[in-house]
A = this chain, B = another copy of it.
Amino acid sequence: MIEDIRKGNRLALSRVLSQVESGSTAGSDLLEQLFPLTGHAHKIGITGPPGAGKSTLVNALITSLRQLPADPQVAVIAVDPTSPYSGGAILGDRVRMLDLQSDPKVFIRSMASRGALGGLALQTEAFSQVFDAAGYDFVLIETVGAGQSEVDIVNLAHTTIVVDVPGLGDDIQSIKAGILEIADILIINKADHPGADQTLRNLRTMVEMGYQFSQSAKHRLQSPPSQPASQPAPTTAWKPPILKTIAVDSSGIEALRSAILKHAKWLKQTGEWERKDERNIRATLARQISNLLFSNWQSQVDPALMETTIQTVIDRKKSPQDAIRSLLAL
């Protein structure tokens, strides 16, 4: 199976992904065997509010990456965290992506959160490990950017692209404030729409402020040399470029591709690539351990006692804290 997916057998790859998604022992065993082969793919997160045109941008970016002289393999994980109940597919997006499916070096996999054992972030990480081990050079992770779960997903990427559009309401400022800090590259898509220059000015001010702040924070942190030698701060900071694109006609996509390649180079030169890998492994281990501890506990607790305890809480005869104390004392 592993031989097959390394050789580019798409059916085998599809099967491995499904087994991993199902959470079966076979899937877990496959992941374990694939792990030593990972660590090479450039993982790129693409996030932004609904309506920003992320899928169109991803499509244009795939085409552009495929034209690189190195003839790279490109995988896409389309995460749909908005559909925890229906597990529904985003039909329109998938249809648009169909023309790319004929390229044997492009693989697009959609993932709904339903059935995501252990959470969406773990599942996305597992998928990107499969693609990585299968020899894919780029793994694009597309997600609606808003909540903590999306941030978790994006955190596993080497490069995070935040997509904005002109003319969204004032609420959108709340998105920018939080999400700007995770952006390595900022995109103003639909740049032919009215208000693009205003959006550009706003983003530029915010990036400039964030950059100044991070520089001064770094300076403050470095004054007492308390950081462990194994984790020096990058010598040159990365200043997120702000690029205008019109994804529907591929305007600006070449500049985006250049920025991505430049960021990869910066990551490797500064050692940030390895640090991101390390942070990612730590976070993944913590999540997996947490899930295991809980499921182990669940399998050991007496179901009858659990039910009566929960009932006393529902009846307000016991506080949740009390209930937990008696349940964990077992």
Contact = CB atoms under 8 A, between A and B. Distances in A.
Nearest to A80: B174
A293 interface: yes
Contacts of A316: 35-36, 38-39
B174 A324 contact: no
A298 to B, nearest CB: 9
Q: How large is the interface on A (under 10, 10 to 19, 20 to 34, 35 or more residues)?
A: 35 or more
A293 to B, nearest CB: 4
A137 interface: no
B285 A324 contact: yes
A35 to B, nearest CB: 4
Contact of A82 (B83, B88, B113, B178): B178
Nearest to A290: B294
A323 B32 CA distance: 11
A289 B32 contact: no
A113 B296 CA distance: 29
Given A281-B320, A282-B310, A320-B281, A82 B147 contact: yes
A32 B319 contact: yes
A196 B153 CA distance: 34
Contact of A52 (B171, B178, B286): B171
Contact of A147 (B150, B172, B282): B150
B328 A177 contact: no
Given A174-B80, A319-B36, A327-B289, A281 B52 contact: no
A174 B82 CA distance: 7
A8 interface: no
Q: Lowest 5 A-B CB distances belong to which pairs?
A: A147-B147, A51-B169, A83-B178, A146-B146, A88-B177
Given A81-B148, A82-B177, A144-B146, 10 more contacts: A36-B319, A52-B171, A82-B147, A85-B182, A90-B177, A285-B323, A288-B324, A289-B294, A290-B294, A293-B293
